[in-house]
């Protein structure tokens, strides 16, 4: 899919939202700062001028009250009046002390003014005590003189000090009031400016986002009108309703996908029927037919061969042809395989003896052919095996009869003639039997040719189907991405989830198709061999994998690796697949270790990729390289199940071998030669 040349709506919405949030946040912060400052000024007006002024005025009132009470002390005529006057003086004296303490905390000016007034009040107290003592001792006139003279002077001086505090508080109140007016004016001005700026920016952002939505949608509608050169039928004439046009396009693509899936299912069914026909023909053939790998193991066997040797198909999967061969005949098959792989001979016929499961000897006639791919690389051996034990039995009987006739020729001439006649008949029967066997061989050769043609058609069909599936998948992924990116605001969470599921499953199917294509191409790929730096390839794979597993702690151990003569691209694919498998299957291991190295055995380099991951039971080792064979679910470990099959083809294409050793919960090691 082409890279989207239009800006993402989500990006512009995010940018616009951030700008608006920033602007309105800035306005709110500025307004908040002004309000805080205004509150501070208002608080100061309340705290200082109001509290200080009232407290100082209370002090003046209490001082005048004390002065009057002191006069009452000098004028008291009895003890009761005297004590009541003194009690009143003490009460108001305590109130004055409290007010001075409050003024001292709240006064914002020079505390020297407060301290001077307080000192004058404290200095008045000895005069008060002296007046009281004089009254108590009966010197009322002296007490009255002190009260009217020195006491009155202290009161006047104290009131002058308190007036200074009141004047200062009034000045502060006027200053705070002017500050609050200035702050309010500035706040109004800032709010008006920011409102105009935010309004203009909002209009610009609206036009910017509208253009980013409208233009791409109109462009997509024009592209949808003609998809892959095929004009859509029933395309809406009115394209102003953009969502209805996109809905029509999606419905059209869904219908096309359904038709394509139906065609694929029909062709797949036909292919399966053809394959089943071939398999049934081989399974029901009257002679044994087997497919033997280059390593001597049985890949495929039919029921006739199972009957010949007495083993089941499952048992033969774990055996080689040499294990079933009589010791004296083992070299016959080995020599042909070696010569065929070297190109000296491609097919042969010979007789050999197999060991039946019951322990008996089975005489067979073997016809074997080396099958190669289109690049002339050996794939496997196709072998036909006929049970000739009965024929050998007849031959043995003939030999016995011949010996008996030779021993008795002179004694029983008549009997010899009769035996000769029987021998002639036996030979005639044997001739007919051999002719039947040859006819069966010809029929099997024809079946083999048809099987090879069917395999080629199957490979060609797989490639064609995989390739044809890519175009609709790209359309499904592309339009899912368009819906998810350009219409996210109009979609609810459930719709977004469905679109995500469509896109994820389409991408998974695309990965599977690519793997199938790679697997199909591998048989036709021509090797481009050169001297390649294997350590550099391993380092490249390591760097790519480490970038994708930042949350996984993996220790890579790379031992010395030699230069090799191989196809660089294919070897890179081998290392990428094996190392990424090692990383994947150590995901749940606390201290994951992946080791890559090389050992030398019998003058041959054996490369290996080792991990300490989950491992597997070695009884499944024979199937791990088969296509779509998985030992774990996709949810546990993602993948298509084709990777190791491709790796095996690449190694075989380089005329190498690949095998695996593993132990459950202890790790896995893949070995291969080039």
Domain boundaries, the chain: 9-215, 229-284+400-524, 286-387, 525-672
Give me the pLDDT at residue 38, please. 57
Query: What's the distance, CA 242 to chain centroid?
Result: 34
9 pLDDT higher than 70:
no
Helix axes 413-486, 389-408, angle to 10 degrees: 170
- Of the ranges 41-50, 309-318, 418-427, which one carries the lowest mean pLDDT score? 41-50
Helix (H) or strand (E) holding 363: strand 361-372
- Of the ranges 47-61, 494-508, 589-603, which one carries the lowest mean pLDDT score? 494-508
Decide which of 212 and 523 is more confident: 212
Are the C-beta atoms of residues 86 and 71 closer than 8 Å to each other? Answer: no
From the options 3.40.50.1820, 3.30.565.10, 3.30.1490.20, 2.60.40.420, give the CATH code of 525-672: 3.30.565.10
Residue position matching structure tokens 């001028």: 49
Give me the pLDDT at residue 228, please. 47
Helix axes 413-486, 242-283, angle to 10 degrees: 170
Give me the pLDDT at residue 473, please. 64
Query: What's the distance, CA 500 to chain centroid?
Result: 14
Give me the pLDDT at residue 598, please. 96
Number of H helices, E strands in the chain: 16, 14
146 pLDDT higher than 80:
no
Query: What's the distance, CA 159 to chain centroid?
Result: 85
Return d(Cα 498, Cα 594) in angstroms, integer: 38
Q: What is the pLDDT of residues 527-545, one digit of tens each?
A: 888 999 999 999 999 988 8
Give me the pLDDT at residue 55, please. 80
Return d(Cα 386, Cα 362) in angstroms, integer: 10
Are the C-beta atoms of residues 493 and 16 closer than 8 Å to each other? Answer: no
Return d(Cα 658, Cα 475) in angstroms, integer: 39
517 pLDDT higher than 80:
no
Give me the pLDDT at residue 536, please. 94
Give me the pLDDT at residue 11, please. 63
2 pLDDT higher than 50:
no
Decide which of 371 and 639 is more confident: 371
User: Can you name the CATH fold of 286-387?
Assistant: Beta-Lactamase (3.30.450)
Running DSSP on this structure, what letter comes out for residue 47? I
384-392 mean pLDDT: 88
Q: What is the pLDDT of residues 170-201, one digit of tens each?
A: 777 667 667 767 766 777 777 778 778 877 88
Give me the pLDDT at residue 1, please. 42
CA triple 164-167-169, angle to 5 deg: 110
Give me the pLDDT at residue 325, please. 93
Give me the pLDDT at residue 424, please. 63
5 pLDDT higher than 60:
no
- Backbone φ and ψ for 501, nearest 5 degrees, come out as -65, -40
Q: What is the pLDDT of residues 577-631, one digit of tens each?
A: 999 989 988 888 888 899 999 998 888 899 999 999 988 888 878 778 876 666 6
440 pLDDT higher than 90:
no
Decide which of 350 and 402 is more confident: 350
Distances (CA, A) of 197 to 25, 35, 202: 13, 21, 9
Return d(Cα 647, Cα 575) in angstroms, integer: 9
Return d(Cα 191, Cα 186) in angstroms, integer: 9
41 pLDDT higher than 60:
no
Percent of the chain predicted with pLDDT > 70: 70
Q: What is the pLDDT of residues 551-574, one digit of tens each?
A: 678 889 999 999 999 999 999 999
User: Can you name the CATH fold of 9-215?
Assistant: A middle domain of Talin 1 (1.20.1420)
pLDDT band at 349 (very low <50, low <70, confident <90, very high): very high
67-78 mean pLDDT: 78
The yes-or-no answer to whether 9-215 and 525-672 have a common fold is no
Decide which of 217 and 291 is more confident: 291
Are the C-beta atoms of residues 585 and 609 closer than 8 Å to each other? Answer: no
- Of the ranges 174-188, 361-375, 377-391, which one carries the lowest mean pLDDT score? 174-188
Are the C-beta atoms of residues 620 and 631 closer than 8 Å to each other? Answer: yes
Give me the pLDDT at residue 308, please. 92
Q: What is the pLDDT of residues 56-69, one digit of tens each?
A: 778 778 888 887 77
Helix (H, G, I), strand (E, B) or coil at 603: coil
DSSP β-ladder status, 361-372 and 554-558: unpaired
Decide which of 499 and 474 is more confident: 499
Q: What is the pLDDT of residues 158-175, one digit of tens each?
A: 777 777 777 777 777 667
656-666 mean pLDDT: 92
DSSP β-ladder status, 298-301 and 288-293: antiparallel
Give me the pLDDT at residue 3, please. 46
Residue 432's Cβ-side half-sphere holds a number of Cα atoms within 13 Å equal to 5
Q: What is the mean pLDDT of the chain?
A: 77
Residue position matching structure tokens 């190498």: 656
Give me the pLDDT at residue 659, please. 94
Q: What is the pLDDT of residues 327-348, one digit of tens each?
A: 998 888 888 888 888 888 888 9
């Amino acid at each position: 899919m082409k890279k989207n040349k239009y800006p993402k709506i989500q990006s512009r919405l995010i940018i616009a939202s951030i700008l608006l949030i920033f602007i309105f946040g800035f306005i709110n912060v500025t307004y908040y700062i002004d309000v805080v400052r205004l509150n501070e000024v208002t608080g100061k007006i309340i705290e200082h001028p109001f509290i200080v002024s009232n407290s100082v005025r209370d002090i003046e009132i209490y001082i005048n009250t004390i002065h009057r009470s002191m006069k009452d002390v000098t004028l008291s005529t009895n003890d009761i009046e005297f004590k009541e006057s003194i009690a009143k003086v003490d009460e108001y004296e305590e109130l004055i002390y409290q007010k001075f303490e409050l003024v001292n905390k709240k006064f914002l000016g020079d505390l020297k003014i407060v301290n001077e007034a307080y000192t004058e009040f404290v200095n008045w107290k000895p005069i008060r005590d002296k007046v009281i003592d004089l009254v108590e001792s009966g010197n009322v006139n002296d007490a009255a003189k002190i009260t009217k003279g020195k006491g009155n002077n202290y009161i006047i001086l104290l009131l002058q000090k308190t007036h200074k505090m009141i004047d200062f508080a009034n000045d502060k109140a006027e200053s705070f009031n002017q500050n609050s007016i200035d702050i309010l004016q500035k706040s109004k001005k800032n709010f008006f400016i920011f409102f105009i700026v935010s309004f203009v920016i909002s209009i610009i952002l609206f036009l910017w986002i509208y253009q980013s939505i409208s233009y791409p949608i109109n462009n997509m509608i024009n592209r949808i009108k003609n998809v892959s050169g095929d004009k859509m039928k029933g395309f809406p004439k009115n394209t102003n309703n953009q969502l209805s046009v996109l809905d029509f396009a999606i419905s059209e693509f869904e219908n096309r996908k359904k038709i394509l899936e139906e065609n694929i299912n029909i062709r797949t069914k036909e292919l399966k029927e053809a394959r089943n026909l071939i398999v049934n023909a081989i399974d029901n053939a009257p002679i044994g037919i087997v497919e033997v790998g280059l390593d001597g193991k049985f890949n495929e066997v039919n029921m006739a061969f199972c009957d010949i040797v007495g083993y089941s198909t499952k048992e033969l999967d774990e055996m080689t042809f040499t294990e079933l061969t009589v010791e004296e005949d083992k070299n016959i098959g080995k020599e042909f395989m070696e010569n065929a792989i070297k190109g000296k001979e491609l097919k042969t016929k010979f007789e050999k003896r197999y060991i039946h499961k019951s322990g008996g000897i089975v005489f067979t006639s073997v016809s074997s052919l080396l099958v190669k791919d289109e690049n002339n690389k050996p794939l496997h051996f196709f072998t036909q095996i006929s049970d000739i034990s009965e024929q050998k039995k007849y031959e043995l009987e003939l030999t016995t009869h011949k010996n008996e006739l030779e021993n008795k020729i002179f004694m029983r001439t008549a009997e010899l003639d009769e035996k000769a006649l029987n021998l002639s008949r036996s030979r005639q029967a044997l001739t007919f039997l051999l002719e039947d066997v040859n006819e069966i061989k010809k029929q099997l050769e024809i079946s083999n040719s048809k099987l090879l043609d069917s395999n080629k058609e199957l490979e060609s069909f797989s490639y064609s189907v995989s390739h044809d599936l890519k175009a609709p998948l790209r359309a499904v992924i592309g339009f899912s991405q368009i819906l998810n990116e350009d219409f996210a605001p109009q979609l609810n969470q459930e719709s977004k989830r469905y679109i995500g599921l469509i896109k994820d499953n389409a991408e998974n199917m695309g990965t599977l198709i690519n793997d199938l294509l790679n697997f199909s191409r591998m048989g036709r790929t021509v090797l481009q061999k050169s001297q390649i730096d294997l350590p550099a390839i391993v380092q490249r794979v390591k760097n790519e994998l480490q970038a994708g597993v930042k949350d996984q702690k993996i220790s890579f151990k790379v031992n010395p690796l030699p230069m090799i003569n191989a196809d660089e691209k294919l070897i890179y694919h081998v290392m990428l697949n094996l190392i990424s498998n090692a990383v994947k299957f150590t995901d749940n291991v606390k201290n994951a270790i992946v080791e890559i190295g090389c050992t030398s055995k019998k003058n041959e380099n054996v490369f290996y990729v080792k991990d300490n991951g989950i491992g597997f039971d070695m009884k499944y080792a024979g199937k791990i390289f088969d296509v779509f064979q998985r030992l774990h679910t996709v949810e546990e470990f993602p993948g298509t199940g084709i990777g190791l099959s491709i790796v095996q083809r690449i190694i075989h294409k380089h005329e190498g071998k690949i095998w695996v050793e593993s132990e459950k919960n202890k790790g896995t090691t893949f070995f291969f030669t080039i």
